[in-house]
Each structure stands twice: as C-alpha cells, then as structure tokens.
Structure 1
C-alpha cells in the first residue's frame, strides 16, 4: 500500500499546469517577481553574501543574480540562496514557521538555466507545487521544531525546494521520494542561529537548503536511491524534527486542489514579519519622536524572540539582528518615520536618536494574544502625559490586506535598482515575469 511519502511524491511528480487554479498561477508569478527583486537588491546591498558569490563564481550555465557572474547549478543556487533572505524582505507564510520560497526560487532558477528550454508553465507549476509542499509540512507540525533545538524556516523550506526541483527536472514519483530522502541527509539548521550575537548566518541561511535541493534532485536523476519513507518513517522527517508529532490529514487535505501559495504575505518593510504590526501602528500614529516619553508594545509568544535578550535587541550589532528586533525597528519608525532598505546600515545601527528611542521601548507579553506573530498593540506615553494607543490584528501585506499589484511592481523596481549590476530594463523584466506562462525559456530570461 502507498504511504504518505508515496502519495506526496506522486502529487509532486504528476502535477500539471492546466490543473492550477488561476489564482495559484497569479500568486506564483507574484512570488517570482517579489523574490527576484529581493535577490537582486541583496546582490548590491548585503555584504554578507559576498563570500558565497566569490566561492560560487566560475564556469557554468547559470547566473549569479545581479553580478553578471556564472556558476554551476548547485553553486548558483548557493549564491542566490544567500541573497534570498539577506534583506529579510521575501514573502512569508503567516500560518506556520516558514518562508517557503526563499530556497525554492534560487533552486528553480538555477535548474531552469542549467537545463535550458524550461518554459514558463513548467516553471510556475514547479514553484506552486514546491511552495505547497513546504507549507503543508509546516502546517502539519504538532510539536514545535524548536523543542528539539532546530530552527524551522530553512529546514521546512528546503523540503519544498527539493519538491520543486524534482518536478522541474521531470522526476517520477519514486525519484521524488528519493529526492526527499537525499534532502533529509543534508537539511539541518540549529537553533543556535538565534542566540549568537555576532553571526550573520541567519541572513544567508537559505543558501544551504537551496544548494542541497539542487544536489538532491540531480543526484537522484543520476541514479542515487533514497528511503522508502522519508517523511513519515520511524526516523524520517517528522520523527527527527518534531518527535513524530504531526497531523497527516493536514498534508492530504485538498492536495492538488488547494495551493497554499495563494495564502502568502508580501512584505511592506524589510524586516522580520513579526515586527510589522508595531511598525505599521507607529507610522500611522505620526507622533513626533521628541514628544515621546516611553513606549510599550504588546507581543505574543512568537514575537518574544524579537525582544529577547532586551539589551541586545535595543542595540543590535548586525543588520540581520536589527531586522529581528521589535525595539529597533519600532524605534526606526518612530524616529525616522520609515523603515526602509537604507535604514539598517552601520550608521543606522549606531544612530544615537534611534538607540535612545529603542531604550525607551518595553515589550509586554500578552498571554491572551491571538494575532500569531503578525500583529500587536502599542501604547505611547507622551511627555505631556497623554497616552496614545493602537491595536493591529494583522499587519499590511497579508492575504486579507494585500499590498496590491502596483506596490509589488514598485517594490521590485526599488530592489532591482540596488543590484550590483541592475537590470537594463526593470519594467520590461517585471512585465515578462508577470506574463511568464507565455515565456518559452525561463532560464534565458534571467
């Protein structure tokens, strides 16, 4: 009898473009536009990616985005994967602990270029299926992966990335199962990534699963066999990462009919999604920084990681730590009236006005919170004693409050203009991506 791994693998192998709902196709094109822009921006703005670019550069059929350099498919996936999260500006899935496309997109772009002749319909199907697998694996968790000391986002995204890579290469169901197996042999990310103050691994983390996904799919096509039950096996994915606690029905419900890529959030601000509620409320208040005496910000259990330890989060030492800080991003919004790509450089991290404001911000754990990391409340006490309050259940960019097509195009143009080697015609590139189903060779487009 076919098991869970067999059924998921068959779904990945047999998915057809003609079976994708129109909303799924639209969402996939938006994911590509947004993710490509973020990677291009990181190529010119994130020094953390440079070691990956230098290591990857060489001969090969693939492009290291924004640099004009070439590489093999695994090495291009490594370099572009490092860029995918470096600005912390890529899409998110608010319902579970995953950024499903940060390693998937670099893997698919590399393989599309290496293979040649991959049309837009094939690419979009691989993207929709890979994203869906990653989201389903995340939603099915019934024990937090952090319990075992893991850091879930890149691990979960890596499983979706290998699913998308396997589909793009045309692997059959048995080979897809093997690809899951080989991914499982490489796919790790320790929770220590959250606690070490000086590291930038959190910024470039998606490099590793992106490369592993490409390697896994290519090795399977070359004849390497995997396990019979990489997902549900006694020492498979859920046993390793969640103590065996998962809900199989979540993985199966609506499989092939409902695609979770339609439920993503596109970020308005380049920082952790958990900071966005506070940022949005602060910007809407429009209060002058010099009038503020103190600030309290309500956080839920998920957002505590963005506030702890408080002294470090009030004065982060690296850009990525600043982006994972509610006190710092909130201080930026209150002092500068914005939180943008240019607000996390060395000068911003040392800005006395921002640091002073961050020192006056106190997080308050709200045990009754129901906003799941994407909202919060704000209480601002002014020097004259007046108290301003606001609450936000779900920050801008979520499916219920989308950015909209015009804002996504503007975000792409802003990011692309910051590439080490900006595209010659960013509007034309955006238009091509948003009509990708008509493209005969996606690899050539990049």
Structure 2
C-alpha cells in the first residue's frame, strides 16, 4: 500500500496558481472552456434527455447560469443541469491515453461555483481547470487493473475526482481541505457498467450531471470544515482498492505534477460521437467520396476496448436511442458513408429511422483484433468488399482530433459557433463572437459572473 499519495498530490496541487502555469497550459485550458461551453449550449437546444435535469435545477433559485436556457439556479443544481448537457451530445474533449472525459463534470462544477461565490476571476478558473483535468487524467493512467472488471463505468467516476479537486482549488482551499473534498467525492462517485447494456436508457448521455453536482457539494462541504478520510485514493478501502483491487502505480499518478499538465494532451472531437467510432467515421468519409453504391460489405477491425461499440450486432446496427447510435461503430460509419458527413444533425431521432443508413449499417460486421498498430481505441481498420469483386483495406492508426492530428484553431472556433447557434435560447452572431473572445482571453475576466453576459 502506497502511503501518503493523496497528501503528496494535494500538497502539490494546492501550491499551483495561474502564474505557475506555462503559456501552453493556459492556452489548452482556454480551449477546454471554449469547447465545453459550446457543447453545452448546443445540447440545451438539441438534447431532450437533459430537459428533466434543467427543469429540476430551475426550481432552486440562484445566480448560476444554466447554459443556453436563460435560466439560473443555485450552484449544485446548475452543475447538475450543465453536467447533463456537457456529455449529452458526446462532443466534448477526451483524453485518449486513459479513455477519459476529464472536463465534462469539471467545467460545469467550476462555472457554477464561480458564479455562486462571486469575485472569482478568469485566472483562478483556468488554474482550477488545469489541476482538476490533470488529476482526472492521472487517475486513469495509474490504473493497473481495468475498472470494468468490477462492473464499473470508468469515465465519469475518474472525472468526478478531478472535478472535486478542481472545485476545491477554485475556492482556494488548502491541501488538507482538498483531501477532504476528494474524501467526500469517494462517498458519492459511482457509475455502473450496466448503462452500457440497457438498450433504451439515456443515462449514458446525461451521466456527467451526477459527478458535476457531487463535485460542488464536496467542495462546499470541505470549505465548511467537514473532515474526510486520510487516504481517499490509496487507502486500504480507498478509491483504488474499491474500484481496481488496489492495483495501481503511485509513480504514474504523481510523476511530474506541476511540471507536465495533461490538459495539453487532450483530444477535441471533430464528430459528435464516442471517440472509438472516430477512426471508422474517418474511413467512412473516404468511402463516401468513392461511392456508397459500390459497397457490398465491410468488415471492421476493432480493439478489445471498442468491442462494446459493435456488440450486440443487431442492436448496434439499429440503435433505438440517439446516445446508443453515438456508441455504435456500424451506425456511425454508415452515417459517414451515406451522408458524406457526421455532424450534429446526422445523429438524431430522424437518422435512427433513415433506411439508407440502416441498410448500410447491416452490411458492416466486426472482428476483434488486438493489433498494436491501432492506437488503443482511437484507431481502427476496415476491409471493404466492393460489388465488382475487388477489395480495399483502410487503416487509421489514430483518428483526427488527437494532439498529433489536432483540429485547428479555426476549426475549433467554427465548432463553437455552430454549437452556440443551436442553443435553446439562440444568441446572435455578435453575441457568440463576444463570448468566444472573452473565453480566449481568460486573464481579462475579472468576475466570472459576467462571463455569460454577452449571451444573456
């Protein structure tokens, strides 16, 4: 048992402020805030699954913006609603190395707390993003045993601890109180793998609502002096013991804290679906240009991590709900082939009934291939049999959006503008531009309560 790991982490993170961040880290955090804000705005107008969360949150008066709605709420409830929005379209950033969505609960929690407390500037928000995202990524990297073996669904669980740490950091709590916030998150953070197997549930879409709200609660209770446990991560009944049988690497968890910020190593999504579908969307777009009518059949090669995106085959070829379509390689690939694109409008209730897409999805089969050339769930290959009897094989070792194949700043700006235009209460182009400019220069924001004034 590695004693003192949580204390070392919390001491290091408590000492980090905005002025300690490299320019590249500040820029990365600004991209996170821009992308997350845009995705939540789009979801407010497109994700019916989030509506009950918004309605519930709006019953609790407070100063915190529920993005895209014109409504406000108290901090825990605003975090709940915005957390539901943050992943509803499956369009937010990811950390490929650990299959994580480190910011989908973190950003909603930070925005809510900053607005409720008042007087918090953009620099403090950026520092909180940097440390919260960093911990979420490290928690996943340190695992030596997959959490799935215990029936858990890791992304929202791992992200919950980064969200709690980031929220406590935003409140300028000391190292012990950061540990207390992690302790209280340990009492709340769960997500069963059963959400992957239930055919009609939409919980997979709105899952980040729960850790986002829990992060706010954890930070507020820690600020109030509630004492937590001494070793919430490494203890004999702490995080790693409960979720991974105690099998983790303290070295991977702590190495280079304060020197290497993993927020700089995120993937920003070009397409609104599970990251594991992206290599096949990319291949599908190439096949669309060659002519969908020429295709007889396709066999995709997937890693074991992507197996959940192709099984059971019947369900994945004809998903019943939009979030399941976004977690389906056959459906996502068919969308790209048939429509020549895979945007927000292409994953919709109408698309689920598009016979051309369904017919193409039925032609796609899969086999599991533990191929080291395919990058752990963000790569893939496909063998295409054409009607003239010829074959072609396409391989994408690592799909677009990763740090080595990034979206450009112009592409990220266009994504934000497109997302913002789909909000439930739609802002004008000038409003969108002013909001984007404010997010790109966080050091100029003197009070986070004013951030969303351009679209209010």
TM-score, normalised with respect to structure 1: 0.99
Structure 1 spans left out of the alignment, 5+ residues: none
Q: Offset at 1:367?
A: 2.3
**1:33 maps to what in 2?**
34
**1:61 maps to what in 2?**
63
Q: Offset at 1:2?
A: 7.6
**2:320 maps to what in 1?**
317
Secondary structure of residue in 1 paired with 2:13: helix
User: Following superposition of structure 1 onto structure 2, how do residues 40-439 of structure 1 map, counting pairs within 5 Å?
Assistant: 40-58=41-59, 59-285=61-287, 286-370=289-373, 371-424=375-428, 425-439=431-445
Structure 2 residue corresponding to 1:440, chosen from 420, 441, 446:
446
State whether residues 203 and 320 of structure 1, in contact with CA within 8 Å, keep that contact through their aligned partners in structure 2: yes
Secondary structure of residue in 1 paired with 2:383: strand
Q: Offset at 1:362?
A: 0.8
State whether residues 287 and 334 of structure 1, in contact with CA within 8 Å, keep that contact through their aligned partners in structure 2: no
The separation in 1 between residues aligned to 2:109 and 2:247, in whole angstroms, is 29
The separation in 2 between residues aligned to 1:362 and 1:196, in whole angstroms, is 21
How large is the Cα RMSD of the aligned pairs? 1.1
Secondary structure of residue in 2 paired with 1:368: coil
**1:6 maps to what in 2?**
7
Structure 2 spans left out of the alignment, 5+ residues: none
Q: Offset at 1:382?
A: 1.2
Q: Offset at 1:6?
A: 0.8
The separation in 2 between residues aligned to 1:157 and 1:320, in whole angstroms, is 20
The separation in 2 between residues aligned to 1:332 and 1:78, in whole angstroms, is 31
The separation in 2 between residues aligned to 1:182 and 1:268, in whole angstroms, is 35
TM-score, normalised with respect to structure 2: 0.96
The separation in 2 between residues aligned to 1:422 and 1:108, in whole angstroms, is 23
Q: Offset at 1:334?
A: 0.8
The separation in 2 between residues aligned to 1:367 and 1:2, in whole angstroms, is 36
Q: How many residues align?
A: 446
Q: Offset at 1:366?
A: 1.2
The separation in 2 between residues aligned to 1:208 and 1:191, in whole angstroms, is 15
State whether residues 3 and 235 of structure 2, in contact with CA within 8 Å, keep that contact through their aligned partners in structure 1: no
1:337-357 Cα deviation digits (max 9, x unpaired): 111101122211011111010
Q: Which moved more, 1:223-232 or 1:366-375?
A: 366-375
The separation in 2 between residues aligned to 1:314 and 1:276, in whole angstroms, is 16
Q: Offset at 1:282?
A: 1.7
Q: Spell out structure 1 runs of 4+ moving beyond 6 A.
A: none
State whether residues 43 and 88 of structure 2, in contact with CA within 8 Å, keep that contact through their aligned partners in structure 1: yes
